[in-house]
Amino acid sequence: MGSIAIVDLGHAAGIARTDVRERLARADAVVVPGGGSALEALRAERFACRTYADLGLGAGASSAAVVETLCSLAPDGEVVLVAAGYPFLRSGVISGLLARSGCTLDIFPVVSPLEVLLFAVDVDVTADVDIIDDQVLRRSLPARGSHLVITGVRNAIAARKVAERLAQRYPEDHPVVVAGAHDSGGLELKMTTVAGLADFGGAWTEATVYVSPVRIEPPGGFDELVRIMRLLRDPEDGCPWDLEQTHMSLRSHVVEEAYEAVAAIEEGDDEALSDELGDILLQVVFHSQIAAEAGTFTIADPIANIIAKLRRRHPHIFGTAVADTPEAVMTRWDAIKREEKSDAGRPSGVLDGIAPTLPALTYAAKISRRAVSVGFEWESVDDVWAKVHEEIEELKAEAPGTVEAADEVGDLLFTVVNVARKMGVDPEMALRGTCAKFIRRFGHMEQVASERGDDLAEMGIEEMETLWQHAKHGERAASQTASADAVSTGPAPDGSAEPTTEGA
C-alpha cells in the first residue's frame, strides 16, 4: 500500500507553503472533494487534480466508498487528499483510511495534534472528553466511557508506560490513534492498539495518543467479567463497596442469588433465569478475585477443579466403568466422592461432607439417601408408613412446647422425608409447591371476600372454610382444563382407579 497525505489548504499560508507545494508536486494523484476554494487554488497553481465526481463518487457517496477509492488510486504510489479547513473531511474518512490503509497518514500543516484528533477522528459527541498528559495518567485513569487524549508522550519509553497503564482498564486489542508532530509542521497519524502502543516507535519528538470510549464497542465474554471485577477491587480506583467485601460478607449473597435463580426456574421465566445465572457467575468471579488478592487461588483453579471432578466422577463416560441407570450413577458418584475425601485426608464417612447450611428438608433427604447407599433402608414403603404412625403417637404423648415435643416433630418430619424418597418425590420441592398453592388459594379467599365487601379477619372459621373450598375446587377445575401437568387419571398398578390427591 502506498502513502496517503491530507493537506489543509485552509490553514494559514496554505498553498504558498513550500512543504505543501512539494508534496503536491510529487504526488501520483491529487484529489479534492469538490468545488470551492481548495479546487480553485489548485487550478490557479496548475496542479493536476481530480474531484470526487471525477472519480465516480456522487454527492451521496458513503465514507466507505471514498476510503476504498482513495486506497485504490495508487497502490504503490502517493495520494494527496486536499481539504479546506476543519473539520476538513466528512465523518468516517480519516478513521476509515487509518483502518483500511494499514499505514501512517501524513496531515499538514496543523497547529497541534489535538486539532486533528478532536475534529477529524469521528469523535462521538455523546461522550465526555478527558485531556491529560502522560504524567497525570500514571496517577489516575479517567472513565472508560469518555474520549481520552493523552499528551506529552515524548519517546518509546513513555509510550510503553502509557500502554501499561491503559492495559489496566482497556482490552489489549482496543484501538488507539497516535498523532506525532514533526518539526516541519506536519503530523503523522497511525492506528494501533493498547498492546501495540508498547512497541510503538516514530520519528517525531512528541506524540499525542487518542483512545476511543470503550462503550462504543464494549468488550464481552468471561475474560471481560473477570477483568471488570479486578478493576472494581483495584485499591486505588476501585469501588468502595466492592473493596470492603470478604468471603464472609458475601456468603448470604451466594445463597440469595441461588434462590432467585430457583424462583426463575419455577416460574418458567427464561429471561429472568438468564439474568440470575449471571448473578451467580458474578459471585464465583467475586470470590475468586478476593482469593487471588490473598494469594490462595485464582479463577482458573475453580474451573480446573470442576473439569477434573466431572471427569473423575463420570468414569462411565471418560473411562471403562458401567452405569446404566441414574441410580447407579449417583451410587458411584457418592463412592468416588468418599474416596476423594479419604485421599485428601478429610473425614470420609458416609454422612461426612453434607453441608449443614442446606434447607432442612434437602439436608434430611441427602442424609437419608447417603445412608441408603450402604444398605441402611426399610424393606418397603409400608414399613416407612408404620414408622410415621409410630412417630405420630410418640409426638401426641408429649406436652406442647417442650423440648421433647420439638424432638418428636423432627423425628416425624425426617420419617416423612423417607416416605417422599420411597415415592420418588423431592420433599423440598414438594413443600415449596404446597406453600405456593396455599398462597394462591389464600389470595383467592381474600379477593372473593373483598368483592363481597367482607374482611377475612372478621369472618368465622366456617365462612373461611367455604371460601377455601371454593378456591380449591376452582383451581382444580382450571388445572384439569389445562391438564398439561395434571395428575394422571389412568389405572393404578393394581388395576384399581388412581385415587385423587387432595393436598392442603
For 374-425, how does the pLDDT look when each residue is reduced to its tens digit (9 = 90+)?
889 998 999 999 999 999 999 999 999 999 999 999 999 999 999 999 999 9
- Could you tell me if residue 341 is inside a domain? no
34-69 pLDDT tens trace: 777 778 888 888 888 888 888 888 877 787 888 888
- Domain total of the chain: 4
Most trustworthy range by pLDDT among 62-71, 137-146, 276-285: 276-285
The domain spanning residue 286 has which CATH number? 1.10.287.1080
CB atoms within 10 A of CB 235: 7
The answer to whether position 373 is within a domain reads: no
Do 207 and 155 form a contact (C-beta atoms < 8 A)?
A: no
Q: How far apart are alpha carbons 233 and 486 in whole angstroms?
A: 50
Note the pLDDT tens digit of each residue in 208-231.
Answer: 887 877 654 445 688 889 989 999
Q: How many CB atoms lie within 10 A of CB 22?
A: 10
Whether residues 274 and 211 share a domain: the answer is: no
255 pLDDT higher than 80: yes
Kindly state whether residues 4 and 104 are assigned to the same domain. yes
**pLDDT in the model for residue 239:** 93
- The residue out of 201, 218, 235 marking a domain boundary is 218
In a domain, residue 211? The reply is yes
158 lies in which domain range? 125-218
Q: Are 95 and 15 within one domain?
A: yes
5 and 104 housed in the same domain: yes
List the strands of the sheet with 206-211, edge to edge.
Answer: 50-51, 29-32, 78-83, 3-8, 105-108, 187-193, 175-181, 206-211, 147-153, 129-133
Ramachandran angles phi, psi of 88, nearest 5° = -80, -10
- The pLDDT, as a whole number, for residue 479 is 64
208 and 233 in a single domain? The answer is: no
Could you tell me which residue, 384 or 2, shows the higher pLDDT?
A: 384
Strands (E), 109-232: 129-133, 147-153, 175-181, 187-193, 206-211
90 shares its domain with 1: yes
Q: Is the pLDDT of residue 439 over 80?
A: yes
Strands 187-193 and 175-181: antiparallel
Strand 29-32 and strand 175-181: the pairing is unpaired
Q: Mean pLDDT across the chain, nearest whole number?
A: 80
- The pLDDT of residue 397 is 95
Structure pTM? Answer: 0.43
Of residues 20 and 375, the one with the higher pLDDT is 375
Q: What is the pLDDT of residue 345?
A: 75
pLDDT > 70 fraction of the chain, expressed in percent and rounded: 80
Among 288, 312, 336, the domain boundary falls at 312
Q: Rg of the chain over CA atoms, in angstroms?
A: 37
CATH code of residue 76: 3.40.1010.10
> Are 28 and 77 members of one domain?
yes
Lowest pLDDT segment from 49-58, 86-95, 136-145, 267-276: 86-95
**pLDDT score at 176:** 84
**CATH number of the domain within which 200 lies:** 3.30.950.10
Statement: residue 444 has pLDDT above 60 = yes
Same domain for 81 and 57: yes
Task: Please tell me which residue, 116 or 155, carries the higher pLDDT value.
Answer: 155
The answer to whether residues 285 and 259 touch, using CB atoms and an 8 Å cutoff, is: no
Q: Region 94-99: what's the mean pLDDT?
A: 70
Q: Is the pLDDT of residue 249 over 60?
A: yes
| Helix-, strand-, coil-residue percentages of the chain, each rounded to 5 | 55, 10, 35
